[in-house]
Copies of this chain bind each other. A is one copy, B any other.
Amino acid sequence: MEKRISDSVINRLPRYYRHLTDLLESGTERISSRELSEKMNITASQIRQDLNCFGGFGQQGYGYNVELLRNEIAKILGLTQGYTAILIGAGHMGRTFATNTKFESRGFRLIGIFDTDSKKIGQEVARHTIRDYREVGSFIEEHQPQMAILAVPKDAMHNVAEEMIAYGIRAFLNFSYTELSREDEDIVVENVHLSDSLMRLSYKLLENNKKNTVTSQK
């Protein structure tokens, strides 16, 4: 079952995974594409098309087996690999991410939070004691996390990333309001730019206003 899955399907998979997890936790065993469609606010035909990529989980008239489908998506997303992550930066961004992300139910373990600010070191965040960034090298050597989550100031990001790479980290989730871009084939990066979402909302609002104007002119 090795097929190439398109980027836009991959981009939607985390959302499917979240909704299926909610359904499972509320005890739902099966769901039709129509019900899932209403819950997720996307068309049933889009859902059928997306989930067909993984084959065999939807049966005409019976819907999807929630647990099987969720487990298959988890496997595709690598959530069954037991990846561990460290968080660099315990400012507002780092704290909100550490506190609100359900790491375990997404298949991850957050194993350490680091900062350079002596006022923050020793504080508790999301049941972790913030560690001194100067110890990050030996920590990585000992615990071998696969991922680093960067929530550091813009100006510090590139230096921190280079240090993490030197310590052997190969996957970065970057919240630092500036893009990390690496040519190296063996390094993967997910840049999150929060202001992009504001621009996407702006687009939707403008389109909606155009539509409403057209409607009211009829």
Check if A188 is an interface residue, CB within 8 A of chain B: yes
Q: 5 closest Cβ contacts across the A-B interface?
A: A78-B206, A14-B196, A92-B96, A14-B199, A78-B202
A56-87 interface code vs B (CB 8 A; 1 in, 0 out): 00000000000000000000111101010100
Contacts of A170 in B (CB 8 A): 205, 208
Q: Please name 13 further chain A to chain B contacts, defined as beta carbons within 8 Å, in addition to the given A7-B8, A11-B200, A97-B194, sorted by A numbering.
A: A18-B195, A39-B181, A77-B200, A77-B203, A78-B203, A78-B206, A92-B93, A92-B99, A96-B194, A146-B205, A147-B201, A147-B202, A189-B204
Query: Is residue A128 within 8 Å, beta carbon to beta carbon, of the partner chain?
Result: no
- Interface pair B208/A13, CB less than 8 Å apart: no
> In chain A between 89 and 132, which residues have their CB closer than 8 angstroms to a CB of chain B?
91-93, 95-97, 99-102, 106-108
User: In the assembled complex, which residues on chain B have CB atoms less than 8 Å from the CB atom of A196?
Assistant: 14-15, 18
Counting chain A residues whose Cβ lies within 8 A of the other chain, the interface size class is: 35 or more
Residues from chain B with Cβ under 8 Å of A172 in the complex: 201
A197 in contact (CB, < 8 A):
yes
| A143 at interface, CB cutoff 8 A | no
Copies per complex of this chain: 2
Chain B residues whose CB sits within 8 angstroms of the CB of A92 once the complex forms: 92-93, 95-96, 99
Q: From the candidates B93, B188, B195, B201, name the one contacting A201 in the complex (CB within 8 A).
A: B188
Q: Which of A1-31 contact B (CB under 8 A)?
A: 7-8, 10-11, 13-15, 17-18
Nearest neighbor of A172 in chain B, beta-carbon distance: B201
> Residue among A8, A101, A181, A200 with the most chain B CB within 10 A?
A200
